[in-house]
A = this chain, B = another copy of it.
Amino acid sequence: MSDLPNRISIKEEGPREGFQIESAAIPTERKVALIDALSGTGLRKIQIVSFVNPRRVPGMADADDVVRTFRKAEGVDYYALWLNLQGFERALVHRARLAVRGTLQTCASEAFLRRNQNRNLAQNEAYQRHVADAYRNAGVPVDRGSVMAAFGCNFEGDIAPATVLRMVDLIFAVAAENAFQIDEIALADTMGWATPRSIKRVVGAVRDRYPDARINLHLHDTRGMGIANAYAGLEMGVDSFDASVAGLGGCPFAAHPGASGNVCTEDLVFMCEEMGIETGVDLGALIEAAHLARDIVGHSLPGHLMQGGKLSALRQARKAVAGG
């Protein structure tokens, strides 16, 4: 019936996605408290900051302090995001505490690329080659390629799978020139255009051309399709997902109308574990971290499990009644 994986890997992006978007100044130690809580949940990959222009993203002005002060847990890799070489240089300073790995970044929508990074497709291709040189010179492993706006774009409309494939081709071409071993291709639904059907279509197209590439999905929940899209990915055998605790990064309600958060980590973990797919994550600890995230930002967040609760507690109560 389908090709569900036995186990998935989740990269938690809540601290970066969330604190980047919040308008209120959140004290550094509160951000660190959330990262430390997440470190105890079983998550093995946590993206904690972005090194971006603090004038454009004031919430990330204390990124260096966050990286300096969180408690590094055994077996957990901590990541930073950057969009250009200035950001990369800032990340390199923290090489002892961060997993500094390079990603070749492409975008299936030229219109979005222009708006977001002020580059056209040709300029971005040249820039990725330039970045590849910098990574190689710094001795930084490059094992990942990403395609933004892989399922549609507010400024360009629908995206053809062939366009996504051209971006994946570019990633593998630049990787080959540099003898990089690409382990994962991330397909991002940056603006919440995907449905289960387009997930299957695009993942299928990439898989057909690159059967050995591991595919990662980065799914924004703008239109409520996040979990359904993740399920469609699982059915295609996708076993790597980005997610945000409590749905941090989006608050479709009071604080940030229309903001598009990443799919919620604990909702994703719940779905997988209930379907027999291992995540390695302790759902109870993750729900506690989600409540902490809500306390820190001071407003409701989109996650459901933090309200609905896990089923194992109800199953236990039932057993206790039956036993007594």
A318 proximal to B (CB < 8 A): yes
The CA of A258 and the CA of B313, in the complex, are separated in Å by: 15
Chain A 244-274 against B: per-residue CB contact (8 Å), 1 yes, 0 no?
Answer: 0000000011100110100010010011001
Interface size class, chain A:
35 or more
Q: Residue A197 contacts which of B230, B275, B300, B319 (CB distance < 8 angstroms)?
A: B275
Contact B304 A222 (CB under 8 A): yes
Q: Residue A258 contacts which of B155, B309, B314 (CB distance < 8 angstroms)?
A: B309
Residues of B within 8 A of A264 (CB): 224
Q: How far is the CB of A147 from chain B (nearest CB, A)?
A: 19
Of all chain B residues, the one with the shortest Cβ separation from A194 is: B274
Residues of B within 8 A of A225 (CB): 227, 267, 270-271, 304
Supposing A196-B271, A254-B300, A315-B158 touch, asked if A308 and B227 sit within 8 A by C-beta, the answer is: no
A154 proximal to B (CB < 8 A): yes
Contact B222 A224 (CB under 8 A): no
Residues of B within 8 A of A222 (CB): 304, 307-308
Supposing A271-B196, A311-B152 touch, asked if A221 and B304 sit within 8 A by C-beta, the answer is: yes
Supposing A232-B231, A254-B300, A271-B195 touch, asked if A223 and B308 sit within 8 A by C-beta, the answer is: yes
A1 proximal to B (CB < 8 A): yes
A305 proximal to B (CB < 8 A): yes
Residues of B within 8 A of A303 (CB): 224
A298 proximal to B (CB < 8 A): no
A27 proximal to B (CB < 8 A): no
Chain A 14-27 against B: per-residue CB contact (8 Å), 1 yes, 0 no?
Answer: 00000000000000
The CA of A243 and the CA of B104, in the complex, are separated in Å by: 42
Residues of B within 8 A of A152 (CB): 311
Q: How far is the CB of A320 from chain B (nearest CB, A)?
A: 11
A205 proximal to B (CB < 8 A): no
Residues of B within 8 A of A252 (CB): 304, 307-308
Of all chain B residues, the one with the shortest Cβ separation from A276 is: B197
Supposing A195-B275, A276-B197, A300-B254 touch, asked if A270 and B223 sit within 8 A by C-beta, the answer is: yes
Contact A275 B158 (CB under 8 A): no
Q: How far is the CB of A87 from chain B (nearest CB, A)?
A: 29
A200 proximal to B (CB < 8 A): yes
Contact B197 A274 (CB under 8 A): yes
Of all chain B residues, the one with the shortest Cβ separation from A154 is: B314
Residues of B within 8 A of A270 (CB): 223-225
Binding site for B on A (CB under 8 A): 1, 152, 154-158, 192-193, 195-198, 200, 221-225, 227-228, 230-232, 252-254, 257-258, 260, 264, 267, 270-271, 274-276, 300, 303-305, 307-309, 311, 314-315, 318-319
A-B CB proximity, top 3 nearest: A224-B304, A222-B308, A228-B228
